[in-house]
């Protein structure tokens, strides 16, 4: 009797080397794989749920400061190094991988108002309440050497902020006016004013490096051109802007963190209307920093939370908070766009993942493929009510939650009133102002 | 006198060179004149008199008095008139005296000078500066627009943007660090060394070097010149050929052709003498040309020219001669040279043809078909139009040829014939279309083709009408035969012979009619003669219903839904259904019968219909009955409210919209909104989509690897932003995107510009220096 056996040609299922893809014979006939939409929907739902399950963004807390952390700076060449200045004049340099402080300097008397690193990463500058600008070496002093600054410049007035040029040995300080300094000189090579008020922060444009933006306490944002040594334009907002940040990928875009709980993204060529108003915070926004990819930014607020906004969305995609984190004063996005650091009132620097549910470490190719697929599925089905609800759900502290409710009610009331006013007045007499234009008081040439 | 005085005063003023304002000037001059009051004048006179008393001629001192506002004695004042005083007015009286020319000139010069405008205030200046600077900056920034747009719309962005160049070590370094270990490697190295394979930078073997140096410069130049010359010659030749080709004269071309032919002949003769082998080849070539000619049928009097000549041939001797010549040529060309293989018959055939050459084409072609009894050609006769023509030809019909089989078949199958006709029609149409196309393409010779095509169409139409008539007749005959002969077998004796042949070749059972025939053979007893064809078919498929009267059956078909569901839908069989299928059908029927028997108890269809009826009832809007029993009349058990009352308090529900499954007998569509599924459905069209079908389409295309190939899956799931862990992403640079960044550093620009430190700052600086 002949026995019939199944036999297959190994060429059809054995791969030549182990680097090849697995040879899996597959039949893509759609009749064999029915219900593609429901199946993908279920997969998307599961992916969304898993994302929420794995959303554990908090990585580490760096403690050691003896007063609130007032300013942060990234090392331009080293991802693991960050610098922080506290309200007691202390500057600390941290190592993120080891999560410890590697150097402590008593830099100023009073607050350290601003800190910035030189573009090459060999030294950094601090300004403080003691009216000085100090330049420090990045490396610590050798054995037996004393910890002292490379240079110290004593100014007339208090400097409230500092930023270094992205390519040259020039830095800018702000206080009563915006000064531009050559590193080698003790006098500013150029100083620019427009009006008389204290300027709270100044930032160099990272792309077109001769541009500067500053914000003053008389509610305005002023743009300067360093090469022509002149201010360019001024926009006056409803309330004071605390700081601005330039988009590192789009030369003319910057975002301003405002006291009125909102952030405004401007195209600097058209200041009369912001490109986008970002609202979700329930208290003054104190700091903002762009992701190095230029697609998102993070904002720190007085409401004890930090939020991540996509540049083109008006609502935040993520909110981070912990029980112990108080008013967040400064925030930075690391140069590899993977992490976020924030310094807050209660003397801690916290390290967060930029993508809450991301797995750290090296991924295998299959993990990567699964991650990408899940991401695409979430994107594809993001408008479905169940998925949307799960993806948007965040737990918030009671204070923020109740504040949000309150804000909503207030906003609704304001809107209702506006509508009623329009309804009961002569048509056309009450202009309808868009949300974007509402907050701009004037643009001064 | 006054004029003189005035002039004097003016001169004095111009010497002072501080002439600023005319009215002032006037006032000054006027002050020297006598005052308007007499007392003053008298006083002056008195003074003069006193001075003259002195005796000495005292020098008179220039004296100035205060300017009075009202000095208008000598009509120079503009007061009252409201006009401004112009210098020209003052100069008018001076014109007469020529001694004052220099003064006038100076005055004119003064007049031509303009006053300088007031400088703008500081704020204004700064504003202008700022605006200019802003515009400049905006312009600089706008170069980023395309980059930004591209990045925003990019499918995928990989950060860091700048590419890290892989370090490529030069080959010498690699080789120097290499050591041959295995024997194979050593062997290879030995080989390389033997051939003096270079290791250093110019990687050329000596042979290669030599070959590179082989061609010297002069040589190369010469070669180039040669090539150039050749190219030039070729172009000349081409131009000449083109020119000659353009010549329209027929005579010229004829002469040229003849000349060529003669030349060729001469050459051939010569060749035959000199080199017989080559001559043979040449001969073969000529023979081939002749064959080609023969195939092309160029000289068959079918051309335009030939036709016109044929018409004229009756009257014109010359034309006749030309025709003869043409025919002779044709004969010569078409005659085969080798006689060995030719049979007598064919010889005769060709002769026949030659004889018939004078007759128009169509007949000629027919004849050709007739004398070539090619079975293959006959096989495909149904599609061949010319064959159809032969069928139609009355002369051909009686011939008992082999290919008559198909013809007779065609006769007893009117439907098939019709089909053939249809096919013919289509062919004609396509032909016409093609001809039209060609007309479009070449407007030159279009007229004749059109004419011919139209003629063709006409003739075709005629032929077709004839055929149709014939078909009708044959059908009538058939009907009559059916009527008279009680049996189903009603084929003509000619086809009877062919019957077995038909059965042998099942693929030839091509039409409905034939199928019907076969069916009839199976169940020929009950066949009703008057019943139409389709019904017969149906009866054959539903053998259970057969015993019913046809009328009743019809009615049933109209009404009974159930029947509609159970009966196999009268699917139109394709014309090419083979008989084997019929057998299969039978098997299927048997199977169905068996299944029916097995599930005789449960009537699924009736249940379904019941269910549907219930669903329809449930979905209908209900009437509202508001009658209150016992209200206004006696109530109690067993008492019903009166009909009047019920009618009065019954609120009729409005008729709802028609159900979607009203016309679908075997479907129930639930029209209620399902809240369980609604929770999973998108209610509002999401933002970037403008139409719901766009959104649906994106949802419906699966992206998973279950439905896509590996490659497609990877492409579909590419993330929008890719970052490498541990890599610093620097801000975008002008060099990254291909722009030239400004070479000047920002700092140098500042230092070159004179420092514009504000005054406040200057003060501060001063203070600090003092400190």
pLDDT of A420 over the 70 cut: yes
User: Helix, strand or coil for residue A413?
Assistant: helix
Instruction: Please write the tens of the pLDDT for every residue from B483-494.
Output: 444 444 444 444
Residue B751: list chain A partners with CB under 8 A: 189
Q: Quick check: A380 contacting B, CB < 8 Å?
A: yes
* Residue that wins the pLDDT comparison between B533 and A158: A158
How many domains does chain A fold into?
1
The span from the CA of B25 to the CA of B19, in Å, is 7
Is B359 domain-assigned? no
Q: Does B278 score more than 70 pLDDT? A: yes
Both structure tokens of B689: 């989509």
The answer to the question of residue A277 being in a domain is: yes
Q: How far is Cα B585 from Cα B590, in angstroms, rounded to an integer? A: 9
Residue A160 lies in a domain: yes
Is the Cβ pair A21, B710 closer than 8 Å?
yes
**Residue B138 and residue A269: Cβ atoms within 8 Å?**
yes
The pLDDT, as a whole number, for residue A351 is 96
* Best residue in B124, B126, B133 for a mutation probing chain A (most A CBs within 10 Å): B133
* A18 touches B at CB < 8 Å: no
Instruction: List the beta bridge partners of residue A126.
Output: A115, A134
pLDDT tens-place string over residues B681-690: 899 999 889 9
Sign of CA dihedral B370, B373, B376, B381: positive
User: Which range of residues forms the domain containing residue B651?
Assistant: 623-629+643-671
Q: Do A79 and B726 touch (CB under 8 A)?
A: yes
A404-427: average pLDDT:
94
Q: How far from the centroid of its chain's Cα atoms is residue B59's Cα?
A: 109
- Cα B595 → chain centroid: 56
DSSP helix/strand/coil, A153: strand
Pair type for strands B721-723 and B157-159: parallel
* A66 compared with B413, residue with greater pLDDT: A66
Contact at 8 Å (CB) between A107 and A116? no
B572's tokens: 């139109």
What does the pLDDT read at residue B535? Answer: 44
A116 located within any domain: yes
Helix (H, G, I), strand (E, B) or coil at B416: helix
At B167-195, the pLDDT tens digits run 777 676 777 777 778 889 888 888 877 87
Question: Mind listing the pLDDT tens digit for each residue in A172-220?
Answer: 999 999 999 999 999 999 888 888 789 999 999 999 999 999 999 999 9
Look-up: residue for tokens 């008006």?
A314
Residue B262 lies in a domain: yes
Please give the share of chain A, as a percent, with pLDDT higher than 90.
83
The whole domain housing A201 covers: 58-353
Interface touch B728/A193, C-beta < 8 Å: no
- A210, A310, A370: which to substitute to probe chain B, counting the most B Cβ within 10 Å? A210
Distance separating alpha carbons of residues B380 and A118, to the nearest angstrom: 91
Q: Which percentage of chain B shows pLDDT scores above 90?
A: 14
Would you say residue A118 lies in a domain?
yes
Provide the mean pLDDT of chain A.
93
Q: With an 8 Å Cβ cutoff, is B156 touching chain A?
A: no
B689 CB near a chain A CB, below 8 Å? no
Of A36, A189, A229, the CB nearest to B702: A36
Closest Cα in chain B, distance from residue A190 (Å):
6
Q: How many domains does chain B have?
A: 3
Q: Which of A58, A84, A57 is nearest to A70 (CA)?
A: A84
Structure tokens at A342: 């924030």
- Check if B732 contacts A (Cβ < 8 Å): yes
Whether A182 and chain B come into contact, CB under 8 Å, resolves to yes
User: Between the CA of residue A240 and those of A191, A197, A434, what are the distances in Å?
Assistant: 22, 12, 20
Closest CA to A257 of A272, A273, A239: A239
Q: Is B199 helix (H, G, I), strand (E, B) or coil?
A: coil
Cβ-defined contact of B137 to A189 (cutoff 8 Å): no
Confidence class of residue B241 from pLDDT cuts 50, 70 and 90? very high
CATH number at residue A125: 2.130.10.10
Contacts of B723 in chain A (CB under 8 A): 293, 336-338
Q: Other C-beta atoms within 10 Å of A92: how many?
A: 21
Beginning with the edge strand found earlier in the chain, give each strand of the sheet holding A100-106 in spatial order. Answer: A69-74, A81-86, A90-95, A100-106
Residues sharing a CB contact under 8 Å with residue B630, sequence separation 6 or more, in sequence order: B636, B639, B641
Residue B664 vs residues A372, B571, B660, B671: alpha-carbon distances, Å: 45, 18, 8, 14
B534 versus A329: the higher-pLDDT residue is A329
Q: What are the pLDDT digits (tens) for A111-163?
A: 999 999 999 999 999 999 999 999 999 988 888 888 889 999 999 899 999 99
Q: What distance in Å separates residue A337's CA from the closest CA in chain B?
A: 8
Residue B266 lies in a domain: yes
- In the stretch 260-289 of chain B, residues with CB closer than 8 A to chain A read none
- Contact with chain B for residue A77, Cβ under 8 A: yes
- pLDDT exceeds 50 at position A277: yes
Among A140-144, B139-143, B309-313, name the most confident range: B139-143
Whether pTM exceeds 0.80: no
Q: What average pLDDT does chain B have?
A: 68
Residue B379: what pLDDT?
46
Mutate one of A176, A289, A292 to test the B interface: name it (highest B CB count within 10 A). A292
Asked if residue A111 belongs to a domain, the reply is: yes
> Looking at the partner chain, which of B734, B750, B764 has a beta carbon nearest the beta carbon of A190?
B750
For residue B283, is it within any domain? no
**In Å, how far is A3's CA from the nearest CA of chain B?**
33
Helix, strand or coil for residue B223?
Answer: helix
Q: How many residues does chain B have?
A: 771
Residues of B whose CB is below 8 A from A293 = 157, 159, 721, 723, 729
Q: Please tell me which residue of chain B has the smallest CA distance to A373.
A: B717
ipTM comes to 0.91
Judged by CB atoms closer than 8 Å, whether chains meet at B141 and A268 is answered as yes
Give the model confidence (pLDDT) of B459-483 as tens digits. Answer: 555 655 565 555 555 555 554 444 4
Report pLDDT for B48: 81
Measured on CA atoms in the order B342, B344, B350, B351, is the torsion positive or negative? positive
Query: B-chain residues within 8 Å CB-CB of A33?
Result: 706-707
Q: Do A193 and B713 touch (CB under 8 A)?
A: no
Task: Pull the structure tokens for residue B722.
Answer: 């890719």
Is A286 part of a structural domain of the chain? yes
Is residue A67 within 8 angstroms of chain B, CB to CB? no
The answer to whether residues A193 and B760 touch, using CB atoms and an 8 Å cutoff, is: yes
B151 to chain A, any CB pair closer than 8 A? The answer is yes
Tokens 């054959």 belong to which residue?
A: B540
Q: Which two tokens stand for residue A21?
A: 């893809």
C-alpha B527 chain-centroid distance: 59
Do residues A165 and A209 touch, judged by C-beta distance below 8 A?
yes
Residue B683 falls inside a structural domain? no
Beta strands in B228-284 (DSSP E): none
């Amino acid at each position: 009797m002949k026995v019939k056996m199944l036999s297959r040609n190994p060429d059809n299922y054995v791969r030549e080397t182990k680097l090849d893809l697995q040879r899996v014979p597959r039949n893509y006939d759609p009749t064999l794989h029915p219900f593609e939409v429901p199946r993908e929907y279920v997969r998307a739902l599961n992916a969304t749920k898993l994302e929420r399950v794995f959303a554990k963004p908090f990585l580490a807390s760096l403690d050691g400061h003896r007063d609130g952390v007032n300013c942060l700076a990234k090392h331009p060449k080293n991802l693991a190094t960050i610098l922080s200045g506290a309200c007691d004049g202390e500057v600390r340099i941290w190592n993120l991988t080891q999560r410890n402080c590697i150097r402590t300097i008593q830099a100023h008397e009073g607050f350290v108002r601003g800190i910035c690193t030189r573009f090459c990463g060999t030294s950094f500058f601090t300004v403080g309440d003691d009216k000085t600008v100090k330049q420090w070496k990045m490396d610590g002093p050798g054995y037996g050497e004393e910890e002292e600054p490379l240079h110290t410049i004593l100014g007339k007035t208090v400097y409230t902020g500092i930023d270094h040029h992205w390519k040259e040995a020039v830095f800018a300080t702000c206080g009563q006016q915006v000064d531009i300094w050559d590193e080698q000189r003790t006098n500013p090579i150029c100083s620019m004013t427009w009006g008389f008020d204290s300027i709270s922060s100044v930032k160099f444009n990272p792309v077109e490096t001769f541009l500067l933006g500053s914000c003053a306490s008389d509610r305005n944002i002023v743009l300067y051109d360093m090469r022509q040594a002149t201010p360019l334009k001024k926009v006056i907002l409803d309330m004071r802007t605390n700081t601005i940040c330039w988009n590192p990928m789009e030369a003319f875009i910057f975002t301003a963190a405002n006291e009125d709980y909102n952030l405004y993204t401007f195209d600097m060529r058209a200041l009369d209307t912001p490109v986008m108003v970002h609202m979700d915070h329930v208290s003054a926004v104190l700091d903002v920093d762009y992701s190095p990819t230029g697609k998102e930014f993070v904002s720190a607020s007085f409401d004890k939370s930090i939020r991540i906004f996509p540049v083109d969305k008006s609502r935040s995609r993520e909110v981070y908070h912990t029980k112990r984190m108080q008013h967040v004063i400064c925030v930075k996005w690391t140069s590899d766009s993977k992490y976020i650091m924030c310094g807050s009132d209660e003397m801690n620097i916290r390290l967060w993942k930029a993508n809450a549910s991301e797995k750290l470490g090296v991924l295998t190719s299959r993990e990567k493929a699964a991650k990408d697929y899940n991401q695409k599925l979430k994107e594809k089905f993001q408008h479905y009510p169940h998925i949307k609800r799960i993806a948007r759900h965040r737990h918030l502290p009671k204070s923020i939650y109740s504040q949000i409710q309150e804000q909503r009610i207030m906003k609704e009331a304001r809107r209702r009133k506006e509508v009623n006013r329009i309804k009961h007045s002569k048509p056309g007499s009450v202009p309808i102002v868009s949300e974007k234009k509402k907050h701009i008081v004037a643009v001064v040439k | 006198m006054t004029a003189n005085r005035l002039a004097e005063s003016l001169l004095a003023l111009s010497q002072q060179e501080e002439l600023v304002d005319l009215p002032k000037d006037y006032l000054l001059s006027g002050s020297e004149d006598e005052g308007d009051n007499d007392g003053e004048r008298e006083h002056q006179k008195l003074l003069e008199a006193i001075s003259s008393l002195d005796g000495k001629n005292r020098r008179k001192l220039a004296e100035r008095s205060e300017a009075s506002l009202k000095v208008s004695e000598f009509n120079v004042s503009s007061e009252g008139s409201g006009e401004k005083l112009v210098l020209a007015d003052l100069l008018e009286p001076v014109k007469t005296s020529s001694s004052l020319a220099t003064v006038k000139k100076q005055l004119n010069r003064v007049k031509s000078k303009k006053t300088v405008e007031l400088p703008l205030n500081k704020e204004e200046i700064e504003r202008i500066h700022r605006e200019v600077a802003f515009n400049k900056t905006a312009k600089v920034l706008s170069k980023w627009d395309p980059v930004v747009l591209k990045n925003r719309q990019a499918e995928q962005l990989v950060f860091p943007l700048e590419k890290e160049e892989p370090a490529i070590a030069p080959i010498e370094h690699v080789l120097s660090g290499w050591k041959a270990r295995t024997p194979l490697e050593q062997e290879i190295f030995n080989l390389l060394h033997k051939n003096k394979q270079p290791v250093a930078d110019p990687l050329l073997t000596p042979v290669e070097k030599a070959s590179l140096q082989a061609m010297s410069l002069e040589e190369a130049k010469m070669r180039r010149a040669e090539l150039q010359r050749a190219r030039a010659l070729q172009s000349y030749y081409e131009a000449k050929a083109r020119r000659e080709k353009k010549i329209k004269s027929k005579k010229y071309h004829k002469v040229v052709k003849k000349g060529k032919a003669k030349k060729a002949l001469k050459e051939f003769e010569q060749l035959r003498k000199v080199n017989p082998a080559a001559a043979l080849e040449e001969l073969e070539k000529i023979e081939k040309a002749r064959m080609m000619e023969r195939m092309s049928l160029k000289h068959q009097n079918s051309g335009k020219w030939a036709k016109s000549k044929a018409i004229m041939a009756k009257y014109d001797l010359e034309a006749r001669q030309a025709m003869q010549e043409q025919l002779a040529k044709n004969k010569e060309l078409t005659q085969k040279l080798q006689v060995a293989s030719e049979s007598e018959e064919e010889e005769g055939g060709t002769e026949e043809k030659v004889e018939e050459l004078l007759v128009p084409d169509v007949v000629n072609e027919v004849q050709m078909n007739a004398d070539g009894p090619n079975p293959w050609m006959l096989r495909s006769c149904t599609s061949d139009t010319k064959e159809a023509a032969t069928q139609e030809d009355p002369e051909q019909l009686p011939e008992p040829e082999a290919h008559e089989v198909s013809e007779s078949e065609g006769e007893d199958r009117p439907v098939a014939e019709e089909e053939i006709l249809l096919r013919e029609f289509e062919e004609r149409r396509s032909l016409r279309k093609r001809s039209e196309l060609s007309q479009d393409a070449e407007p030159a010779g279009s007229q004749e083709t059109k004419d011919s095509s139209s003629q063709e169409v006409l003739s075709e139409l005629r032929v077709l009408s004839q055929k149709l008539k014939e078909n009708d007749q044959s059908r009538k005959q058939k009907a009559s035969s059916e009527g008279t002969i009680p049996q189903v077998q009603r084929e003509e004796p000619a086809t009877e012979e062919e019957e077995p042949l038909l059965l042998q070749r099942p693929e030839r059972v091509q039409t409905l009619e034939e199928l019907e025939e076969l069916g009839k053979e199976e169940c020929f007893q009950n066949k009703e003669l008057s019943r139409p064809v389709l019904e017969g078919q149906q009866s054959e498929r539903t053998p259970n219903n057969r015993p019913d009267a046809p009328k009743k059956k019809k009615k049933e078909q109209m009404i009974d839904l159930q029947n509609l569901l159970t009966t196999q839908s009268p699917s139109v069989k394709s014309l090419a259904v083979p008989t084997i299928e019929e057998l299969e059908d039978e098997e299927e029927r048997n199977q169905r019968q068996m299944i029916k028997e097995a599930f005789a108890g449960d009537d699924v269809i009736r249940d379904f219909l019941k269910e549907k009826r219930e669903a329809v009832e449930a979905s209908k809007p209900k009437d509202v009955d508001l009658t209150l029993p016992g209200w206004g009349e006696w109530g109690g058990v067993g008492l019903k409210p009166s009909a009047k009352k019920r009618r009065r308090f019954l609120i009729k529900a409005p008729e709802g919209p028609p159900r979607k499954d009203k016309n679908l007998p075997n479907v129930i569509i639930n029209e209620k909104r399902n809240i369980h599924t609604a929770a999973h459905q998108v209610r509002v069209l999401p933002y970037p989509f403008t139409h719901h079908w766009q959104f649906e389409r994106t949802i419906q295309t699966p992206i998973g690897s279950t439905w896509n190939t590996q490659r497609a899956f990877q492409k579909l799931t590419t993330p929008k932003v890719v970052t490498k862990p541990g890599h610093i992403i620097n801000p975008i640079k002008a060099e990254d995107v291909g722009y030239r960044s400004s070479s000047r550093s920002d700092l140098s620009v500042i230092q070159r510009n004179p420092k514009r430190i504000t005054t406040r700052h200057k003060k501060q600086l001063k203070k600090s220096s003092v400190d």
